[in-house]
Chains A and B, each alone.
Chain A
Amino acid sequence: ETGVTQTPRHLVMGMTNKKSLKCEQHLGHNAMYWYKQSAKKPLELMFVYNFKEQTENNSVPSRFSPECPNSSHLFLHLHTLQPEDSALYLCASSQATLNYNEQFFGPGTRLTVL
């Protein structure tokens, strides 16, 4: 596997379910990100991890819970979601430096909340 991978690619869940999204990067990066992409809205940064430490929580509701066990893996744990949480969730990684390094994105998980 190369680049940034995300599983599952599609997920349908009820509002009472608990599920997790997984992201893995094979690029040797040490910063990872979760974004939410909804229709007709700009890409929203949710969480940032630098060297496994969370450095940003962009006012995300507590029903979204991130976890970064090591610099290659990132999870987003979901519970009691709302229909408006349906969106494409994108994971990205980069070098954790103050240089202007681009972020590399995974293909996303298309989440539908019923």
Chain B
Amino acid sequence: AQSVTQLDSHVSVSEGTPVLLRCNYSSSYSPSLFWYVQHPNKGLQLLLKYTSAATLVKGINGFEAEFKKSETSFHLTKPSAHMSDAAEYFCVVSDLSGGYNKLIFGAGTRLAVHP
């Protein structure tokens, strides 16, 4: 079965410093992985996705993630945090075992950015 584990429920950084949000996955086959972001009182927006092409994936707003099969990780990074990055971030794996596109969500990491 597919699953994801987000290792931190809360991360706090100062504006202008790097961001690291950690995610480990479990998959019985080559997975597709996503990061979604949710700002307060908003729906989920796709940041980036990995679908077995390049292992370093670039997304919107300066975010990127690296797929590391040996570590079963898909951590999200950004070189310099902005106040507008404060939100909840979800690591997601795609599960096709039911014959359709099903997304398995992690519990989320709330990112706080301080001035």
Selecting from B61-69, B77-85, B102-110, the interface stretch reads B102-110
Residue B49 interfacial (CB < 8 Å): yes
How far is A101 from B100 in the complex, measured between Cα atoms in Å? 10
* Contact digits for A38-70, partner B, Cβ 8 Å, 1 yes 0 no: 000111010010100001100000000000000
Which residue of B is nearest A96, CB measured?
B100
* Contact digits for A75-113, partner B, Cβ 8 Å, 1 yes 0 no: 000000000000000101011111111111111101000
Are A50 and B100 touching (Cβ within 8 A)? Answer: yes
Residue A31 interfacial (CB < 8 Å): yes
Residues in B neighbouring A74, C-beta threshold 8 A: none
Residues in A neighbouring B46, C-beta threshold 8 A: 102, 104
Interface size class of A (residues with CB under 8 A): 20 to 34
Are A90 and B43 touching (Cβ within 8 A)? Answer: yes
How far is A42 from B106 in the complex, measured between Cα atoms in Å? 6
Residue A100 contacts which of B44, B49, B90, B98 (CB distance < 8 angstroms)? B49
Are A103 and B101 touching (Cβ within 8 A)? Answer: yes
Residues in B neighbouring A6, C-beta threshold 8 A: 43
> Number of B residues whose C-beta is below 8 Å from A?
24
A61 CB to nearest chain B CB (Å) = 20
Segment 14-36 of B: residues with Cβ below 8 Å from A:
32, 34, 36
Residue A4 interfacial (CB < 8 Å): yes
Residue B99 interfacial (CB < 8 Å): yes
Residue A42 contacts which of B44, B96, B108 (CB distance < 8 angstroms)? B108
How far is A90 from B41 in the complex, measured between Cα atoms in Å? 11
Are A107 and B102 touching (Cβ within 8 A)? Answer: no
Which residue of B is nearest A41, CB measured?
B107
| B positions within 8 Å CB-CB of A | 32, 34, 36, 41-46, 49, 51, 90, 94, 96, 98-103, 105-108
Enumerate 10 A-B pairs (CB-CB under 8 Å) in ascending A order.
A31-B101, A42-B107, A45-B102, A56-B98, A94-B101, A100-B32, A103-B101, A107-B43, A108-B42, A108-B43
